[in-house]
Amino acid sequence: MSLAVSLACQEVGLIEHLAEAEADTLRAIDTLRRIGILNQPGSTLVTEYPLAMAWNSGRLMSGYIDLLVLTATEAMVIDFKTDAPPDGSVFASYPKYATQLRLYGEMLRAAGMVGERQLRLGLLLTAAGELHWL
């Protein structure tokens, strides 16, 4: 783990935050493992999944899903954020994140990736290891 985080920090010039980045990464993995996302047989997990679609007036909208999890019955979009958890509702405190998740869901539906699956949209706050579903 340390090597992957270290290489990523070097690539983006954040060497002074290596310990914090590693702790965030470990909390995120522990959270995903604890709630069973990493242990689902037959599931597909994809990081940095690219999306694009035509948007207002034919403009291109694009983005990357931090973690896309596909099972036979669910399509889960999980976005990682390093923000500290707020005192109240996460999505009331960070409405732009809710909008971003909804757009990713819409883009997945338009691409035919959801189909009959239940779409779940989640925000994982790495500073606390908390996953909040929209």
CATH topology of domain 39-133: Lambda Exonuclease; Chain A (3.90.320)
Could you tell me the residue ranges of all domains in the chain?
39-133
Pairing of strands 74-81, 118-125: parallel
Give helix then strand counts, H and E, for the chain.
Answer: 4, 5
Can you tell me the distance from the alpha carbon of 21 to that of 27, in angstroms, rounded to the nearest whole number? Answer: 10
- In degrees, rounded to 5, the angle at the alpha carbon of residue 43 between the alpha carbons of residues 114 and 85 is 80
pLDDT tens digits for the chain (134 residues)?
555 545 555 565 666 656 777 787 888 888 899 989 888 888 999 999 999 888 888 888 889 999 999 999 999 999 998 878 888 888 888 899 999 999 999 999 999 999 999 999 999 998 888 899 99
Contact by Cβ (8 Å): 27, 52: no
Bridge partners (DSSP) of residue 119 are: 75
The owner of tokens 């597909």 is 44
